[in-house]
Amino acid sequence: MLWLKAFHVVFVVTWFAGLFYLPRLFVYHVATADREGLARFALMERRLFFIMSLGALLAVLFGMAMIAAAPGYLALGWMRAKLILVAALVGYHAGCYRLMLALRADRARHSQRWYRLFNEIPSALLIAIVILAVVKP
């Protein structure tokens, strides 16, 4: 179980690194007007999205493996709450994908300020998930 947990944490860190940085790239992407800059941000976003998606997939798989190894955790309220927040995080990840595609197609509908606020969502989710996983209220 400790090996599963260790790899789960490694890939959660990978996933969150991308979730913290990708929306920041969106802020810079929206502020850019030249063709070369737009192409550069589109490339950076696509590459980062691939890495963070791999981290997300592996984090979820190792998390599922831990639940399979100890299914009794599903009866605990803190675990159910954590899984709901993880589902929200997966939704946020999917939202990032949609935003990335819109930016690449030059269909940005949001301001830099909106992307800055959007960038705060994974921080709030991370705090809540860590508190649930460590404190187990």
What pLDDT, on a 0 to 100 scale, did the predictor assign at position 123? 96
Structural domain spans, the chain: 2-135
Please give the mean pLDDT across all residues of the chain. 96
Whole-angstrom CA distances from 129 to 12, 32, 93, 123, 126 are 11, 34, 16, 10, 5
Q: Which of 29-33, 60-64, 93-97, 98-102 is least confident?
A: 29-33
pLDDT at 69 over 90: yes
Q: Which residue intervals of 2-34 are DSSP H helices? A: 2-31
Mean pLDDT, range 76-81, rounded to an integer: 96
- Of 78, 84, 70, the residue nearest 5 (C-alpha): 70
What pLDDT, on a 0 to 100 scale, did the predictor assign at position 11? 98
What pLDDT, on a 0 to 100 scale, did the predictor assign at position 118? 97
